[in-house]
Amino acid sequence: CIPVLSTYPILKTLLRRVEKVDGGLDSQDVATSLGVDHQAIVGAVKSLLALGDVISADQRSSKHWELTGEGCEIAEQGSHEARVVSSIPEEGMPQSQLMKLAFGKVGFSKAMSNKWIRLDKGHEGGPRIFKTVEHLEDLVRDKLLLVQKGQASQLEEKEKNELKKRKLLSEVTVKSYWITKGSCFSTTITKQETELTPEMIASGSWKEKKFKPYNFEALGVAPDCGHLHPLMKVRTQFRQIFLEMGFTEMPTNNFIESSFWNFDSLFQPQQHPARDQHDTFFLSDPAQAHEFPQDYLERVRKVHSEGGFGSQGYKYDWKIEEAQKNILRTHTTAVSARMLYKLAQQEKFTPVKYFSIDRVFRNETLDATHLAEFHQIEGVVADYGLTLGDLMGILHQFFNKLGITKLRFKPAYNPYTEPSMEVFSYHEGLKKWVEVGNSGMFRPEMLLPMGLPEGVTVIAWGLSLERPTMIKYGINNIRELVGHKVNLQMVYDSPVCRLDS
Amino acid sequence: MPTVSVKRDLLFHALGRTYTDEEFDELCFEFGLELDEITSEKDIISREQGDTKAEGASDVILYKIDVPANRYDLLCLEGLVRGLQVFKQKMEAPRYRRVSPASSEPQRLVITEETTAVRPHAVAAVLRNITFTQERYDSFIELQEKLHQNVCRKRTLVAIGTHDLDTISGPFTYTAKPPGDIRFKPLNQAKEYTAQELMSLYKTDSHLRHYLHIIEDEAVYPVIYDSNGIVLSMPPIINGDHSKISLNTKNVFIECTATDLTKAKIVLDMMVTMFCEYCEEPFTVEEAEVVYPDGRTCQYPELAYRKETLSADFINRKVGISESTEHIAQLLTKMCLRSEVMSDGEQIEVEIPPTRSDVIHACDIMEDAAMAYGFNNIPRTTPRTYTIANQLPLNKLSELLRQDLAAAGFTEALTFALCSQEDIADKLLKNISETRACRISNPKTAEFQVARTTLLSGLLKTVAANRKMPLPLRLFEISDVVLKDESKDVGARNNRRLCAVYYNKSPGFEVIHGLMDRVMQLLEIKPGQGNGYHIQAADGCVSPVTICGEMDGLKDHRGMKRECRGVED
């Protein structure tokens, strides 16, 4: 801040005072002796500091005594008790009248204890008060006047504390500067330039100019730019990881799916709770899917209701009506099923690695970590002779890329994978194992009706995109991350996403 | 995933040793269970109803254990202990036997034709000379409830009734009657009611009202009588009071009525296998005979042991280990799948007990071998599968455009694919019938009535929620909308869209126009009629422009939104 002209006189005065003293001086004393507000001197000190090493100033604090509002009143008009005495005429005054005065009550009792007045209770016409002294020494006022003159040091501590107790004095802490000459001390002020201009260079005047140093403490100007959403930044990273690992992206742009592809093709029985109205969004329009690969559908019906392909089946009455029901897909595995079916229709089987990251929908009760829609990350590998050890190995590599190195696997149940494994990682912050994903080998009852060759194993895993993102960005409520209610400031401020650091 | 709550000390007593919480947690993890919570009745009541209510409640430590949804044999203390003891090789899996009654005919349950219309299946069995204690009795009742909630699908598929056999006399008749004709004193009630009266009585019952819908609208209700006309139960709602079991019951008649016979057999097998260890002759179950309307008879419980033969090589290859045939047979035996190496030294004969209804394929056996081996002991390998990665072209383009839109100063929003009908129609001054929107039949709230047909509503809602932010707001989203499309198998398809909104105190149409020009430049589409792009007011073909003067009651903030269709249509 360049000092504005109106403050020049005070700057000059201050510099002259600093010049005259050998050691230094206190800003508070300067303010008192100049009779100006201390803040004005503080402003001058800051302005001078901004000019470079003209002066140096150390902040310090000192305590001093000050009169309270009531104390000021007493210093001016006398103590309450003195005022009581002076307001009583020779013939005395009714007590009731005295009490009506502003200082009456306090003054009366103090004056009584000082024996400056007496009370005639039995006086005709009610209690009456008479003076007992003509001249009195108003010590309270005298002491306050001393403090007001800045001579509080003449009073004893005990006296000061007593006045403080009476709320006439208060002890205040004053912050002030101890001002001394700087290495470039001068009593003349030169204006500092903030910017180098083409004109200065052209005229060479820059050589004479003094430049204001940069303030590295302040923030710079925020660039005017757009921002990517943090969840989408994390999606980009996961996509990158899959691509690095040689996985091909599946076409998951079909939110509406038939129950057939979402459940039946995955060997999920028709009475499974996930197929309840409470868990899944069903559609009323278009309510039903109308086209299925008929021979495949027949094999699915059979494996559910009668078994086959080495399976006992579920032995229930499988209904096409249930399979036809359209829903909002509950997992992207519906797309994996379509892709594996498509793969099985190839003339010759070729190994594949597939991935997808896209929205899925659940008609669930919503809370701080659950929404009706979220993003599922899924990876699928199909090849001859894949093992459970391969699944664990590939998960190890995948999670390594996320910076997660400690993994362990818990047996779990899932209708379409067997074995099924929950993936746990050791959380260093929470000091415990937390679930980070689900995985398994697709059941033969799912793969063989599709027409995949007998020896082909398909391993797969999945996790949600939201959960690692919430952990990454320290967000506890999913509503603060996804949806129209998010605070855009959060989007503006979110850092780049490096999952492995 | 069902949660089973067991008293810790009782569990440790049955397991023959104590564990620290950590040790038990570790054991659960290995066995595919999860020690979800360590609590007590007192804790639970005080958490749910406050400290005052919890006063005097039991502070016996409870373990709440999550059990996989297909392991009905682990839903009670008895089953858990048996599973864990066999797993730890402390005992051999018991062999469950169906026996004929010693000195009389088996109990008979006769199914009449009338049941076909409402609940056609029934199975039954007898637990003879059983000894209940308070704990065993509680566990017996609890298991019924757990089975009802899980495999029985809230009693729709199967309902279990248990009766004191000494209070009733067979043969029993399972029939169906008009509700007005059924009259009995239901469990824990003081007087008799007709079925009709019961249905209205239970309308307000916090537990039973959830099951009424199963038979409510049927012309006839299922009912089981004994030979003296005493009502045993009116499944799937309530049992009769007359035959209720108590701590002193010695002989238990169990009936399961069902709409799914396979599940009924499983449920009956579970009930009897879990509790026959308390019979005078442990692990035996007395058979009951079920007579079908066509005269056929069947003996229950089935308690079927099935044999599967598979090779050690199959398991080694699938799991990725190389263990001897003998060792694999041992591993399977630890999982209650008694296994023997066959004479060729390579094949294993695996016996699947009636308690393991979850084992329906060789892959289920393979999983058990892997579990017994320990998932975390399996060497982690890298598959040799060689593939070249490909991006989905649509997603590749979306990713590229997102970056450039942010570079152009626009911020990415992320809005929901589901919304209310109002959001995509009325609020945008459109008629819902013009939108080709897909409708959801069972939304819990209006927020989930339809799949969005436009990204605009989500962006406008984002603006509305961020009115405190400094202006201008520049927002975009690239995502899918859903439209009905008869040509697709499901009758609908996604459509990738780009939508951008500029929101400021002055309209600034040129800003959004400029962004569109930039997008077209990025896509190498030139301005102009014909092959290029052009803007046309209102219902134009390439880029409909809407000028919106007022939004969410903010009259002084004029905004302009433009939705660019057909980026990759």
Q: What is the pLDDT of residues B353-383, one digit of tens each?
A: 999 999 999 999 999 999 999 999 999 999 9
Is the confidence at residue A274, as pLDDT, over 90? no
Please compute the mean of the pLDDT values over residues A42-62 and round it to a whole number.
Answer: 82
C-alpha–C-alpha distance, residues B512 and B546, integer Å: 11
Q: What is the pLDDT of residue A257?
A: 97
- Which residue is it, tokens 């006296």? A159
d(CA B460, nearest CA chain A) in Å: 8
Is the confidence at residue A227, as pLDDT, over 80? yes
Is the confidence at residue A421, as pLDDT, over 60? yes
Is the confidence at residue A433, as pLDDT, over 80? yes
- Token digits for A188? 């003349």
Question: Are the Cβ atoms of A310 and B70 closer than 8 angstroms?
Answer: no
Helix axes of B312-319 and B325-334: crossing angle, nearest 10 degrees: 80
Three-state SS sequence of A233-251: HHHHHHHHHHHHCCCEECC
Q: What is the pLDDT of residue A319?
A: 95
Low-confidence spans in chain B with pLDDT less than 70: 537-569
Kindly identify which residue of chain A lies nearest to residue B317, measuring between CA atoms. Answer: A387
**Does B418 contact chain A (CB < 8 Å)?**
yes
Question: Are the Cβ atoms of A251 and B388 closer than 8 angstroms?
Answer: no
Question: Are the Cβ atoms of B482 and A315 closer than 8 angstroms?
Answer: no
**∠ CA B385-B387-B393 to the nearest 5 degrees?**
150
Q: What is the pLDDT of residue B557?
A: 29
- Token digits for B232? 């045993």
Kindly identify which residue of chain A lies nearest to residue B2, measuring between CA atoms. Answer: A413
Measured between beta carbons, the chain B residues lying within 8 angstroms of A306 are none
Best of B73, B397, B440 to substitute, by most chain A Cβ atoms within 10 angstroms, is B440
Q: Are B260 and B153 in contact (CB under 8 A)?
A: no
Q: Considering only the beta carbons, identify the residue of B318, B360, B448 that sits closest to A281.
A: B448
Kindly identify which residue of chain B lies nearest to residue A480, measuring between CA atoms. Answer: B414
Q: Assign B285 to helix, strand or coil.
A: strand
d(CA B293, nearest CA chain A) in Å: 20
Q: Are A117 and A87 in contact (CB under 8 A)?
A: no
Question: Are the Cβ atoms of A388 and B153 closer than 8 angstroms?
Answer: no
Percent of chain A with pLDDT strictly greater than 90:
46
Measured between beta carbons, the chain A residues lying within 8 angstroms of B493 are 254, 256
Kindly identify which residue of chain B lies nearest to residue A247, measuring between CA atoms. Answer: B389
C-alpha–C-alpha distance, residues A70 and A167, integer Å: 7
A329 vs A107, residue with greater confidence: A329
Dihedral pair phi/psi, residue A100, rounded to 5°: -75, -20
C-alpha–C-alpha distance, residues B238 and A397, integer Å: 55
Q: Considering only the beta carbons, identify the residue of A282, A413, A445 that sits closest to B68.
A: A413
The closest of A317, A315, A386 to A351, measured between CA atoms, is: A386
pLDDT digits (tens, 9 = 90+) for A331-365: 999 999 999 999 999 999 999 999 999 999 999 87
Measured between beta carbons, the chain B residues lying within 8 angstroms of A372 are 416, 418, 447-448
Question: Are the Cβ atoms of A411 and B31 closer than 8 angstroms?
Answer: yes
Comparing A174-183, A385-394, A400-409, the range with the smallest average pLDDT is A174-183
C-alpha–C-alpha distance, residues A327 and A286, integer Å: 9
C-alpha–C-alpha distance, residues A377 and A333, integer Å: 10
Question: Under 8 Å CB-to-CB from B159, ≥6 apart: which residues?
Answer: B148, B152, B233, B235, B236, B256, B257, B258
Q: Are A360 and B290 in contact (CB under 8 A)?
A: no
**Does B455 contact chain A (CB < 8 Å)?**
no
- Token digits for B96? 């469950």
Question: Are the Cβ atoms of B496 and A253 closer than 8 angstroms?
Answer: yes
Measured between beta carbons, the chain B residues lying within 8 angstroms of A310 are 361-362
d(CA B462, nearest CA chain A) in Å: 4
CB pairs under 8 A between A and B: 282
- Which residue is it, tokens 């029993």? B172
Q: Considering only the beta carbons, identify the residue of A239, A290, A372 that sits closest to B491.
A: A290
**Does B569 contact chain A (CB < 8 Å)?**
no
Is the confidence at residue A1, as pLDDT, over 70? no
**Does B487 contact chain A (CB < 8 Å)?**
no
**Does B389 contact chain A (CB < 8 Å)?**
yes
Whether ipTM tops 0.90, in short, is no
User: Which B residues, 81 through 140, put their C-beta within 8 Å of a C-beta on chain A?
Assistant: none
Q: What is the pLDDT of residue A101?
A: 82
Q: What is the pLDDT of residue B258?
A: 95
Query: Where on the phi/psi map is residue B108: left (φ > 0), alpha (ψ -120 to 50), or beta?
Result: beta
Best of A410, A441, A492 to substitute, by most chain B Cβ atoms within 10 angstroms, is A410
- Token digits for A374? 């979220």
Q: What is the pLDDT of residue A111?
A: 85
- Token digits for A66? 């000050």
d(CA B201, nearest CA chain A) in Å: 26
Q: Considering only the beta carbons, identify the residue of B367, B491, B492 that sits closest to A419.
A: B367
Average pLDDT, chain A: 89
Please compute the mean of the pLDDT values over residues A443-470 and round it to a whole number.
Answer: 95
Best of B28, B116, B363, B552 to substitute, by most chain A Cβ atoms within 10 angstroms, is B363
Kindly identify which residue of chain A lies nearest to residue B260, measuring between CA atoms. Answer: A316
Q: What is the pLDDT of residue A79?
A: 86
pLDDT digits (tens, 9 = 90+) for B212-224: 999 999 999 999 9
Kindly identify which residue of chain B lies nearest to residue A440, measuring between CA atoms. Answer: B367
Q: What is the pLDDT of residue B538?
A: 56
Residue B527: DSSP 8-state: B
